[in-house]
Amino acid sequence: MAPMGIRLSPLGMAVFCLLGLGVLYHLYSGFLAGRFAFFMLSEPAAGGPETPHGSAPGGTVDLRELLAVSVLAAVRGGEEVKRVREGNVLNAKAKGKTREGAEEQLTTGDLLSNRRMFYLLKSAFPAVQINSEERVDTADQETVSWDHSIPEDIKQKIQPKEVPAESVTVWIDPLDATQEYTEDLRQYVTTMVCVAVNGKPVIGVIHKPFSSYTAWAMVDGGSNVKARSSYNEKTPRIIVSRSHAGKVEQVARQTFGNKTVIIPAGGAGYKVLALLDVPEKNQEEADVYIHVTYIKKWDICAGNAVLRALGGHMTTLTGEEISYTGSDGNEGGLIASINMNHKALIEKLPDLEKTSHK
């Protein structure tokens, strides 16, 4: 018997229960959905890496952190380069021909260095575009982590600087001077990382694996390397690729005089270091670096950034700035200098621009 003499039919009881369930569902569904959303936002995906500070998609990147990782990547890649060379397990093979018809070499050192450098940078900054000389094989992925430590010299000289992640492009050269590497001309070999923001090179790292020397610089930041104090602008020492010495020598001596010295060398990284004050016994010194043919951007980006940070210049042979976006090649050759009248150098060498297209 119901209170007050009211009797509920079985149908009424069913309706009453359904209404009660509806109220409970309304009260708790929002709460559970909110807890689920909070859980998804708070926890990384199962099996996936945590997103490092300042590199979330659509977020920002701290250039000081990126410099620290770039230095570490160049050193780690250099360890692979040195290990392969000293073990004499190069497994060198031709990977194609240059525009000039020369065979391009590919070694185990290139591949292992590339894998180590790429995955270290990618795990630390997954939102950043990375361009590398060698193809990255996803089936051979390596788990490499960064502990977020920043070397003391970088901490002391560089302040944190946030930039949009989508504005950043990283260029990797896992083994510069591969031809010389196969010939055991170790002094020319470098590993390099460059960071460009909106196409302009702002961070450069050049590492010499066989002497453990590393040069780094950040535009409007600081560096651990400096320019040499004396240069000869009237009869400069010009450093060029070993295969291009003949192309440059005749024009250079006609322009600057017969006393002009032409220095054949391997590797774009080595040639840029020749313009700087580098404490290396096997490092030659030059006043100007000239390249008269097509060259890839991962070969020159790091050196360009270092020179810019120190007040130097690297341009095409006609004086145009090189943009590190878009295609991976630079068509206009290059001329690099520091503490010299760069514009005057370009005006003295008008015939080299034509040579660059041959």
351 marked ligand binding residue = no
Report the SS3 class of residue 8.
coil
320 marked ligand binding residue = no
Per-residue model confidence as pLDDT tens digits over 282-324 = 899 999 999 999 999 999 999 999 999 999 999 999 999 999 9
pTM of the model: 0.82
175 marked ligand binding residue = yes
User: How many angstroms separate the Cα of 145 from the Cα of each of 72, 121, 232?
Assistant: 11, 9, 46
Q: Give me the catalytic one of 60, 107, 110, 293.
A: 110
Q: Give me the catalytic one of 60, 107, 169, 178.
A: 178
310 marked ligand binding residue = no
| Domains of the chain (ranges, CATH numbers) | 60-223 (3.30.540.10), 226-348 (3.40.190.80)
| Averaged pLDDT, 232-248 | 88
Q: Residue 103 is which amino acid?
A: E
Specify the pairing of strand 295-296 against strand 329-330. Answer: antiparallel
**110 assigned to active site:** yes
**Sign of torsion over alpha carbons 92, 94, 95, 97:** positive
Which of 209-218, 252-261, 281-290, 343-352 tops mean pLDDT?
Answer: 209-218
Indicate the helix (H) or strand (E) that contains 95: strand 93-97
277 marked ligand binding residue = no
Supply the pLDDT for residue 114. 95
- Closest Cα to residue 163, out of 136, 204, 197, 207? 197
